[in-house]
Structure 1
Amino acid sequence: MNILCLGGGPAGLYFALLMKKQNPAHRITVVERNRPYDTFGWGVVFSDQTLGNLVVADEPTARAIRASFNHWDDIDVFFKGQKISSGGHGFSGIGRKHLLNILQHRCEQLGVALVFETEVTDDQELAARHGADLVIAADGLNSRIRARYADSYQPRIDQRHCRFVWLGTRKKFDAFTFAFKQTEHGWFQAHIYQYDADTSTFIVETPEPVWRASGLEDMSQDEAIAFCERLFAEQLDGHKLMSNAAHLRGSAMWIRFPRIVCGRWVHWNGAVPVVLMGDAAHSAHYSIGSGTKLALEDAIELARCLARDADMASALQAYEDARSVEVLKLQNAARNSMEWFENVERYSALAAPQFAYSMLTRSQRLSHENLRLRDPVYVADYERWYAQHAAAQAGVPAHGAPPMFTPFKVRGLTLKNRVLVSPMAQYSAVDGVAGDYHLAHLGARAMGGAALVFAEMTCVSADARITPYCPGMYAPGHTQAWKRIVDFVHQYTDAAIALQLGHAGAKGSTRAMWDGIDQPLERDNWPLISASPQQYLEGVSQLARAMTAADMDRVQDDFVRATLAADEAGFDWVELHCAHGYLLSSFISPLTNRRQDEYGGSLENRCRYPLRVFAAMRAVWPSHKPMSVRLSAHDWVEGGITPDEAVRIARLFKTAGADMIDCSSGQVSKREKPVYGRMFQTPFADRIRNEAGIGAIAVGAIYEADHVNGIIAAGRADLCAVGRPHLANPAWTLAEAARIGYKAVAWPKQYLAGKQQLERNLERERAAGN
């Protein structure tokens, strides 16, 4: 095979040497625009896992790289005058120039032709001149090839929000160091790591508005470097910062990170494929140090696919399929990390220990138990610190516990831990009455260890129901039925119980979920109302009419009456449902609110009626009892509610007296395109808690104690609502306590024999696993 590699960075060089090693008869040429052994940048970072992959692919290269590594296990975080350290992270640094030297030398050993100082202006002409069977486009972040064939590659390039500069220093650092400095204009941060015997990479980063306000845009390179030296004098300890881009004027040295995602990785020039690799195909933010890792792993995978499949098209499709999936996973983690660093201001109110924990777990790849495996002493110390602060917040004596099992106080209610049972529709009421089924369902989960059990959305009038089988709070019999359940929870468990009040709006008068979710009733339908005329399922659902002023008064009265009844029934907590396309949500979302009066238009106007209802409820709900609001923090539809707007909405409800925001998303429009995944809605809670300054409940794909511990410990939410796992196991919370080895949790006395048996079984499993 005749292979032409355009770009002599890590991707192109490593692929060339792997293919030449695979078959010495291959003719392989690497064309690079820079001089031999010339490069830009300072050091690159590998994890121990990445080095293991290199050993398998080409041991001589891996051996040469390993011999040049500067290895460290610790991460140091400097914030607000404190230094927080954790260990066991297993990373290594190497100078980018030295890495390329190793790859170039190995290519020369194997007989790869290296052509330097050659600018490729016409890849097709060059490919024809070389008689290439395969062209590799490894020409970097600013790939000309990707731009030329954009219709094939379908690139999406997002220029991010921070300005950063790559610098170096002769100061040696014995840990991967992150330093955060507050200035009058905002926060700066430095990412620092040593990569050879006497040099460290020193990346300085700050949001664009802070960069401009600090005057860096107008500084010369020398002035900007002096600014950074003054700012990070504590870390530099008298050492200077160095630039290796002396040709750039001051502002040009500060760049923005382009997040690159390509829909396809292969373009065909007739019979000759042009394949993207490395930064030309994708980018991963430097805060997780994976750009070079991805480039080398691209090379490994393409070489493997070509060796396995003689058909070029099949091999390239297999390469694209395999790498696009793996790269997207890491890019998602890199995006989380990147957004954390873009928003340091969001987390600046956290105490230094929690700030550092939040930073360590920012990508969601590193969980609480991952951290414990890496550095059990660090995690134990942090858990003690967190437990003390949680106890102080709740006003109770401190005792050691994982974050999940620390107390939390809201108004006059102290919750024993951070786990809630989500409100989950059961469609099992008769004429709005919660009966024996609800007693068994909610009673079992209240006995299962959660601190707070939510009843499903309970409707404030008969025509507010989603289905004829939904519970209500609009008749004296409803109040008494709920009181029976509340009394059981209070008598036999140490859990609290909450009522979620709502109105279905345009999503009402439908069948039970198992008979056809969101499908209208076949008979006995009732009229529907909404913020504006709408059909939830176009051409299928009943048409809801727009609410009148009289409707608004009546519905508000219904919510107030239901709130008073909730107190009469003895509920500890009330939540107002303003999410998922139901009535009050239909006012908030611009997808469903097209009103021309004072309740439509701006975000503040669209929130006016839900806030009015909330205020009326708060006025009659006892002041010592908490109230929360469930929001759809993202509509997942172009033109709908975004997380930015959700923060603004949360601030409005906070001003109105809300204690917590229950942070859900979606179900407002069937055009939604949600991005699912582990803890996929937690970032909404994170933003609302840390930007709006109101308590937040995280929901969605939270199904392990490890998830809850990480979310709570990092300050991403105050509470976690766990739904489906509690359907599968009413005692999920107790079972998770046993699974992580936490025994100081109260079980119902009738079940203590089961606790002992479960703990013994799990101890045996852990011992067998070790």
Structure 2
Amino acid sequence: MTVSKLFSPIALGGLTLANRIVVSPMCQYRAVDGAAGDWHMVHLGQFALSNAGMAMIEATGVERDGRITPGCLGLYSDDCERALERVVSVFKTVTAMPIGIQLGHAGRKGSSRLPWEGGHGLSVGEGGWATVSASAVPYDGRHAAPDALDEDGMERIERAFADAAARAQRVGLDAVELHAAHGYLLHQFVTPLVNRRDDRYGGSRENRLRFPLRVAAALRAAWPRERALGARINGPDGVPGGATIEDTIAFAAGLKDIGYDYVCVSMGSLVGGQRFEASPGYLLPHAEAVRRATGMTTMGVGMIVDPFFAESVVAAGKVDMVAIARGFLEDPRWVWHAAERLGVTMPFPPEYRGADPAVWQGAPHRPLIAPGPWPQAKAS
């Protein structure tokens, strides 16, 4: 049996993952007033037998007006909690694999149409809502200007994150991930491109990180230490006047001081129309920089689809884990096939034993030697 770093266990707080492959949070836009339904049952259910180290539920609004779209998942009401408990309960009846949830607030990117309907802002008359942000700066010309949060609003949102964590605990989730990336509310405070405040929440890096770290601390206080707590944070914004990698590192260091177990370093649209030149591992240099500077357990994302590449970046210490989204949409058995290609023995569920290449003569041929050269992480 091959010794694989990718398939070795890792501890996150009081939780131990069997391997370092995570099903990334993937927005589905199929909730009804924030409540999960049959679509979520089937979508998440296909990953219950994936043999990943952990599965993460999509970005979930901590308040109704914190959703990205009217179809986004929420955890702000008893109805939301009951609906999600149904999904998680079924997931846990068929697998011991941990399952977590990503909690966030869309801020000025909220009240949007579904992506396949254009994604532009919805008016109140169209079923939308008034949005909030660090400053009254609109996301783009297709969204209304948000209201700048005052102290009462910040306290309300801080409580909403803590309340959602309490609901997540009752639902039986194993991990919570604070969403502070992709141009959503907490990221809007971090970046000087959106945060134009002249009070103690704007200006200097320390001030811009004050509210995100305040929310992070409230979430840490509300979430049990025996479960895992992480955060998805943004790398440099990639636009003039935006946040830098130094901001990312300072944010990660603050989260480590608060007691977070890991960070996932990602990148997402901060301003309307923003595009990224993507290639396999294109975000890994940012994650590696954070890991090197802070020593914090770090998850990498960004077109990680090849098992040999995933193995190489974890084995080289660039990141401690990888999170995969589209790769799992295309192939929910990604982990099984990765193990086979890397020469790692992985037990099949008895019910699926007939598809085990060790006993199935019709199994597709997949090379057990690494192709070369592996894709290289591209600096950005």
TM-score, normalised relative to structure 1: 0.46
- The alpha carbon displacement at 1:643 in A equals 1.8
| Alignment partner, residue 578 of structure 1 | 180
Please point out which of 741, 751, 763 is paired with 2:343: 741
AA partner of residue 718 (structure 1): D
Q: Does the CA-based 8 Å contact 2:229-2:260 persist in structure 1?
A: yes
Greater RCO (CA < 8 Å, at least 6 residues apart): 2
- The alpha carbon displacement at 1:723 in A equals 0.5
1:417 aligns with 2:22: no
| Alignment partner, residue 674 of structure 1 | 276
- The alpha carbon displacement at 1:674 in A equals 3.1
- The alpha carbon displacement at 1:707 in A equals 1.6
Q: Does the CA-based 8 Å contact 2:190-2:247 persist in structure 1?
A: no
- The alpha carbon displacement at 1:485 in A equals 2.0
For residues 427 and 551 of structure 1, the distance between their equivalents in structure 2, rounded to whole angstroms, comes to 26
Q: Does the CA-based 8 Å contact 1:419-1:450 persist in structure 2?
A: yes
1:35-64 deviations in whole A, cap 9, x for unaligned? xxxxxxxxxxxxxxxxxxxxxxxxxxxxxx
Give ranges in structure 2 of 5+ residues lacking alignment. Answer: 369-380
1:723 aligns with 2:335: no
Deviation >4 Å, runs of 4+: 757-767
Taking a change above 3 Å as real, the CA distance of residues 644 and 483 of structure 1, as seen in their structure-2 partners, is same
TM-score, normalised relative to structure 2: 0.92
AA partner of residue 96 (structure 2): D
| Alignment partner, residue 477 of structure 1 | 79
Q: Does the CA-based 8 Å contact 1:738-1:759 persist in structure 2?
A: no
Higher helix share: 1
- The alpha carbon displacement at 1:666 in A equals 3.2
- The alpha carbon displacement at 1:693 in A equals 1.1
1:617 aligns with 2:219: yes
For residues 731 and 457 of structure 1, the distance between their equivalents in structure 2, rounded to whole angstroms, comes to 23
For residues 649 and 765 of structure 1, the distance between their equivalents in structure 2, rounded to whole angstroms, comes to 42
1:485-507 deviations in whole A, cap 9, x for unaligned? 22222221131101100011000
Identical-pair percentage: 37
User: Could you say what the CA RMSD is over the residues aligned between the two structures, in angstroms?
Assistant: 1.9
- The alpha carbon displacement at 1:762 in A equals 5.5
For residues 132 and 160 of structure 2, the distance between their equivalents in structure 1, rounded to whole angstroms, comes to 14
1:573-617 deviations in whole A, cap 9, x for unaligned? 001111111111100011110001100011111010111111111
Taking a change above 3 Å as real, the CA distance of residues 480 and 671 of structure 1, as seen in their structure-2 partners, is closer
Taking a change above 3 Å as real, the CA distance of residues 761 and 713 of structure 1, as seen in their structure-2 partners, is farther
Q: Secondary structure at the match of 1:584?
A: helix
Q: Does the CA-based 8 Å contact 2:121-2:144 persist in structure 1?
A: no
Correspondences of 1:690-709 after superposition (within 5 Å): 690-709=292-311
For residues 15 and 224 of structure 2, the distance between their equivalents in structure 1, rounded to whole angstroms, comes to 12
For residues 628 and 754 of structure 1, the distance between their equivalents in structure 2, rounded to whole angstroms, comes to 35
| Alignment partner, residue 653 of structure 1 | 255
1:534 aligns with 2:137: yes
Taking a change above 3 Å as real, the CA distance of residues 518 and 698 of structure 1, as seen in their structure-2 partners, is farther
AA partner of residue 695 (structure 1): T
For residues 228 and 365 of structure 2, the distance between their equivalents in structure 1, rounded to whole angstroms, comes to 42
- The alpha carbon displacement at 1:739 in A equals 3.2
1:347-394 deviations in whole A, cap 9, x for unaligned? xxxxxxxxxxxxxxxxxxxxxxxxxxxxxxxxxxxxxxxxxxxxxxxx
For residues 180 and 282 of structure 2, the distance between their equivalents in structure 1, rounded to whole angstroms, comes to 20
1:708-759 deviations in whole A, cap 9, x for unaligned? 10111011111100000111111211122223333x2133322111223797
Please point out which of 347, 352, 355 is paired with 1:754: 355
| Alignment partner, residue 128 of structure 2 | 525
For residues 274 and 85 of structure 2, the distance between their equivalents in structure 1, rounded to whole angstroms, comes to 38
For residues 481 and 707 of structure 1, the distance between their equivalents in structure 2, rounded to whole angstroms, comes to 38
For residues 439 and 750 of structure 1, the distance between their equivalents in structure 2, rounded to whole angstroms, comes to 20
Q: Does the CA-based 8 Å contact 1:563-1:620 persist in structure 2?
A: yes
Higher strand share: 1
| Alignment partner, residue 197 of structure 1 | none
| Alignment partner, residue 546 of structure 1 | 148
| Alignment partner, residue 372 of structure 2 | none
Q: Secondary structure at the match of 2:138?
A: coil
- The alpha carbon displacement at 1:676 in A equals 2.0
- The alpha carbon displacement at 1:695 in A equals 0.7
| Alignment partner, residue 375 of structure 2 | none
For residues 354 and 222 of structure 2, the distance between their equivalents in structure 1, rounded to whole angstroms, comes to 44
Q: Which shows bigger deviation, 539-548 or 514-523? A: 514-523
Q: Secondary structure at the match of 1:685?
A: helix
Q: Secondary structure at the match of 1:403?
A: coil
Please point out which of 137, 154, 157 is paired with 1:555: 157
- The alpha carbon displacement at 1:520 in A equals 3.2
AA partner of residue 657 (structure 1): G
Q: Does the CA-based 8 Å contact 1:738-1:762 persist in structure 2?
A: no
AA partner of residue 202 (structure 2): G
Bigger radius of gyration among the two: 1
Q: Does the CA-based 8 Å contact 1:636-1:666 persist in structure 2?
A: no
| Alignment partner, residue 109 of structure 2 | 507
Q: Which shows bigger deviation, 730-739 or 515-524? A: 515-524
1:491 aligns with 2:127: no
Please point out which of 7, 22, 44 is paired with 1:442: 44
Q: Does the CA-based 8 Å contact 1:408-1:414 persist in structure 2?
A: yes
Q: Secondary structure at the match of 1:498?
A: strand
Q: Does the CA-based 8 Å contact 1:421-1:452 persist in structure 2?
A: yes
AA partner of residue 301 (structure 2): V
Q: Secondary structure at the match of 1:575?
A: strand
1:606 aligns with 2:211: no
